[in-house]
Every structure is written in structure tokens, then in C-alpha cells.
Structure 1
Amino acid sequence: MRFAVIAFVLLYAGLAGADTGSSSSTVRLGSKVISAGDTEKRVMDAGGEPSRRRAVIGRNGAQIGEDWIYSTGPSSYIIVRFNGEGMVIGVRGFTDR
């Protein structure tokens, strides 16, 4: 069930917005705040290893970034999107209702 929720969120919601979550430029992960411009190292220091990683593929078929998905509760998730240089370009929190 958890995988199905993550797959749905990634396929249909992305980082742009959906009824199941809130979008912002910052999110609390562990005891730290993550925001656009942070590095992979800062995110790893804040949240540790993500529950799942997913490649972000551009229109030409090349990998242009990566999503790190953190499970923050029984039905809540945080997705941190990185560009190709390992910098945070977006964050999003989701709750499975």
C-alpha cells in the first residue's frame, strides 16, 4: 500500500501541487529546515538515507535530477527534488488521506 501511495504521488502530483499535500520552498526534515539551494549533504545530515530515490527524467530521456522520498509517518511523506548538480530545487510534503 505504501509503495502504491508513493507511486501515485510521484506520477500524478509531482512537485507542482496536488490536493493531497502542501507545497513550499522549505520543509522541516528531522531537526533541520531544508530549502531550495541546500546540498545533498545537508539533506542527508538532516534526514539520513531516504526511504526511496527516484530519477527525474527530462524530455530528451536524460536524467536531469533526482527525488529523495522520506517517510515521515504512517501515511505522510516528504519529497526533496535535486537538480543535476545535487542542489535542492524543490520540497513537498504529502499526507495519504
Structure 2
Amino acid sequence: MSGTIAEEMRERLTEAFTPSKLDIINDSASHAGHSGDDGSGESHFTILIEADAFTPMNRLARQRAVIAALGDIVGERVHAVAIKASAPA
């Protein structure tokens, strides 16, 4: 796939959850030179996602669902992802 990892994450999460809100924040610059920084500029992210699909899930289940939807990105292509997943109020 061409494009950035953030774009690929957005596509996968949109397809999996049809979120009402989705922000993907690249935190890599804050981690430059630290463990896990591979120099790509795409090693650390924060994901803020809100979707109806999360309504029946607890916090841990939501995080697991997001990680599953991201597939090989987390742990293989990205060092760290902070996830804040919620259901609409």
C-alpha cells in the first residue's frame, strides 16, 4: 500500500468500525532517539476513536478490537499505539 501508516490505519479503522469520530495523532517526533524510534517518523501514534460498535464492549475489549483491526501494523510496523476508544454518549 502506498501512503503513510496513519492513512492505512485510518482506512482499516474506518472499514472495521465506521467511527463517528477518528483522530490519529503521530507522536513520533516526541520519541525521536528513544527506544522504538526507527527513524521513519511513523513509530508512535495515539488513536482517538468513537464508534457505536464499542457500545457493548468494556475498555479492554475496545482496545483489543482496535489492535485486531490494525492487523500487522501494531508491533511489526509501529512501535507503540495509545488507544482511547469510546462509544457515543
User: TM-score with structure 1 length normalisation?
Assistant: 0.24
Higher relative contact order (CA 8 A, sep 6+): 2
More strand by share: 1
User: TM-score with structure 2 length normalisation?
Assistant: 0.25
